[in-house]
Chains A and B, each alone.
Chain A
Amino acid sequence: MTLTWWHNASQDGPGKTYWEKVAKDFSALHPTVKIEIEAIETNQLQRTRLPAALLSSDPPDIFQAWGGGEMVEQVEADYLKDITDQVKTEVGNIGSAAEIWQVKGKQYGLPFRMGIEGVWYNKDMFAQAGIAAPPTTFAELNEAVTKLKAINVVPIAVGAGDKWPAAHWWYNMALRACSVDTLKKASTDKVFDDPCFVKAGQDLKAFIDTKPFQPNFIATPGQNDPTSANGMLANGKAAMELMGDWNRGTLDTVATDKAKLASFLGWFPVPAIEGSPGDPKAALGGGDGFSCAKNAPAECVEFLKYIVSPEVQKGYAETGTGLPVVKGAADGVTDPALKSILEATANASYVQLWLDTAYGSTVGTAMNDAVVAIFAGNGTPEKVVSAMKAAASK
């Protein structure tokens, strides 16, 4: 029998190679099962290929799943296999991160990668600018920006051209401005009436007004391109970048000098905002997982369990393309920056899923567009909230 597997490690590199190995190893353990892989670029996979395939009578057996609002919709349409009873052990090993792949207490997928977002920075530039320690509050971050400008470097690179890297700044402001309860309620009920969502936009606007970003950031791509924001950080053209845990791998792909990058790269959590009701130890994060189609054979669940087994997870960690989710796989993480993320993830009081994933594509896209308008100087904090409400009814 054959399992079809769709994943997003479409670029040649350690991630793609590793999945090929995992499929081969699984077939060696289960000689009756053959796995057909299709690696599809994320946008195509998530926006066109998967929705169309799930509408048809012949979806792939096992496919990438990001959890959150999208998964709620997929479960409502009865696309996904309920695997709650078969994966109790695995969920125990993964811990609270597995909740993102749950809908109404039932498990419909499992993560293989999970991590929180933070600021990636150039330690050499910080030393040169006389910044003693990574900032822990926005006041300190503003000071750092001033010092970095004094030595003529771009303080923060932002890939606003791709929208979401800019929107992530707003997400973090919301995380600082809103209480955890408000955030949870927003994710489940799509209610954004709390004034903290407007405050997030005001805080962001105030931050943008200090001009911490590179010029013409509205056309800078996020990643996978030497001129992108992470190209700027990787090649010593900017001192900081806000990005998720996968950034370690993507920085490597655009760096002209990988050894130099490894020597100067550091990471610190998103600073707190003084006097905000949000929990300063709450973090934004997200991950990647896989789900089985409703009518996929039982072997699909076996394969899913194999992907999140400790030894496969450890091998995944060693590829350096992301952080593993299973207890015991952490030894595979060798990179110091990734180690600090692991530590911060363990210390986080609450992990909020990326807001555009949590709220679903429709509200998420409207939110990102409205945040980008603030970056471009023709949006307002209030318009972000009204755009989200309008999209929910579209």
Chain B
Amino acid sequence: MTSANQIRTSAGDASASPAGPHRAGRPSARQADTRRKWYEIIGLTAPAIAVYVMFVLVPMGFAVYYSLYRWRGVGPPTEFVGLRNYTLAFQDPIFLDALRNNAIIVFGSLLIQGPIALAIALLLNRRFRGRSVFRLLVFVPYVLAEVTVGIMWKLLLTGGGTVDAMLESLGLGSLVQPWLADLDLVIWTLLAILTWKYVGFAIILLLAGLSNVPDELTEAAAIDGASWWQIQRHVTIPLLGPTIRIWMFLSMIGSLQIFDMIWVTSVPAVRSLGASATMATYMVDNGFFARLWGYGNAVAVILFAISFVAALLFQRFLLRRDIEGAITGKVK
């Protein structure tokens, strides 16, 4: 804080009014105060803002700029085509497949992971022997790197692989499917893997939320004769609202941008047929592999726009109560 003190003394020297309790010097002192506050704010946030502008805003500006060009990544972009890349994208059935797959992953994750995570979190919130082991087990898949999980499941699900062998040995040989080769099934297989991996994250968030539910409330409800289920239904779950909404938000944004798992688990052919493509894999397949750099940037901008709008709508309608006051400081 030495620098702030120096600013304070220098600001004090700069104001012509002598020190002491006389009112005339007040406004200028206040002005010096606000000015000093701004110096501090700018000085302390400048590095972070500079990095953000450099590595987030500037590249985003470039992406928008390049997306207006027909450009193959050889030499500088020269052929301006306006919004043609965007119209081409929405005319490509494979891109529409990618949008559909993203929607399946967004809603599938929310509808499947949500109830499972809530049930497990409520159970794990009770005291019983081995609870910490359970918590650990549930959380392990989330800690693994996404690429590792993808390759692991790819090996397990390969034709005649471990999963098929397990089904056979359980006498369920009739259930064996080409999990990653069937064009209609592959997206659901991927959704199942994503659920397995990310449900742990939802559970941990909910457990953290549960620890904020005051014991007095549940005790009071119990004394009033409420059953365990009634307590959960009318006390605990409503108080988990903010946590559930934050998890939904994170899950939705993650699902829109999903890339790694799809890329390593599903082979290029299945992706390019649209069966397992998502917006992000479509972007890489077209931008880098087909060398359509302008087009790939257009897809990147579309992906950003969809995520951005979804985030705004979510904040506006679902998170409003939770973040009220956090940003504006207003008290209603």
Contacts and interface: CB of A to CB of B under 8 A. Distances in A.
Contact of B75 (A76, A160, A161, A166): A76
A162 B268 contact: yes
Contacts of A372: 269, 272-273
Contacts of B285: 365
B74 A47 contact: no
Contacts of B267: 161-162, 218-221
B75 A218 contact: no
B70 interface: yes
B158 A51 contact: no
B12 interface: no
Given A394-B292, A394-B295, A161 B269 contact: yes
Contact of B269 (A55, A219, A361, A394): A219
A219 B178 contact: yes
A223 to B, nearest CB: 12
A378 interface: yes
Interface string A329-369: 00000000000000000000000000000001110011011
Interface string A137-167: 0000000000000000000000011110010
B270 A369 contact: no
A194 interface: no
Q: What band does the interface of chain A fall in when counting residues whose beta carbon is under 8 Å from B?
A: 35 or more
Given A160-B269, A163-B269, A216 B159 contact: yes
Interface string A213-234: 0011011110000010000000
B121 to A, nearest CB: 36
B62 to A, nearest CB: 12
B288 A47 contact: yes
A376 B291 contact: no
Contacts of B75: 55, 76-78
A76 B159 CA distance: 46
Contact of A218 (B70, B181, B292, B295): B181
Contacts of A361: 72, 289-291
Contact of A77 (B74, B159, B181): B74
A373 interface: yes
Interface in A1-57: 43, 47-48, 51, 54-55
Contacts of B183: 218, 376
B190 interface: no
Contacts of A362: 72, 290-292
Please classify the interface of chain B as helix (H, G, I), strand (E, B), loop, or mixed, using the class held by over half of its residues.
loop
B180 interface: yes
Interface string A106-150: 000000000000000000000000000000000000000000000
Contacts of A274: none
Interface in B252-282: 267-270, 272-273
A376 B74 contact: no
B159 A51 contact: no
A161 B270 contact: yes
Contacts of B72: 73, 361-362
Interface string A188-223: 000000000000000000000000000110111100
Contacts of A48: 288
Contacts of B178: 215-216, 219
A215 B176 CA distance: 14
B143 interface: no
A166 B72 CA distance: 25
Contacts of A376: 183, 269, 273
Contacts of A55: 73, 75
B290 A76 contact: no
A391 interface: yes
Interface in B71-124: 72-75, 88
A281 to B, nearest CB: 31
A74 B159 contact: no
A37 to B, nearest CB: 23
Given A221-B267, A360-B291, A361-B289, A369 B272 contact: yes
A365 B289 contact: yes
Given A163-B269, A221-B267, A394 B70 contact: yes
A129 B291 CA distance: 45
A366 B267 CA distance: 16
Contacts of B270: 161, 218-219
A311 B256 CA distance: 55
B26 to A, nearest CB: 57
Nearest to B285: A365
A74 B291 CA distance: 13
Nearest to A167: B269
Given A73-B72, A216-B178, A227-B158, A161 B268 contact: yes
A22 to B, nearest CB: 29
Interface in B266-323: 267-270, 272-273, 285, 288-292, 295
A378 B182 CA distance: 13
B252 to A, nearest CB: 29
A124 B178 CA distance: 30
Given A163-B269, A221-B267, A366-B290, A216 B70 contact: no
A365 B271 CA distance: 13
Given A218-B181, A218-B183, A51 B74 contact: yes
Interface string B34-45: 000000000000
12 contacts: A73-B74, A160-B269, A162-B267, A166-B269, A216-B181, A216-B182, A218-B183, A362-B72, A362-B290, A365-B289, A394-B70, A394-B290
* A-B pairs, 5 with minimum CB distance: A161-B267, A219-B181, A77-B75, A365-B290, A216-B181
Interface of A: 43, 47-48, 51, 54-55, 73-74, 76-79, 160-163, 166, 215-216, 218-221, 227, 360-362, 365-366, 368-369, 372-373, 375-376, 378, 391, 394
Interface of B: 70, 72-75, 88, 158-159, 178, 180-183, 267-270, 272-273, 285, 288-292, 295
Given A55-B73, A219-B269, A376-B269, 12 more contacts: A48-B288, A51-B74, A54-B74, A55-B75, A215-B178, A218-B270, A218-B273, A219-B159, A219-B181, A227-B158, A368-B272, A378-B273
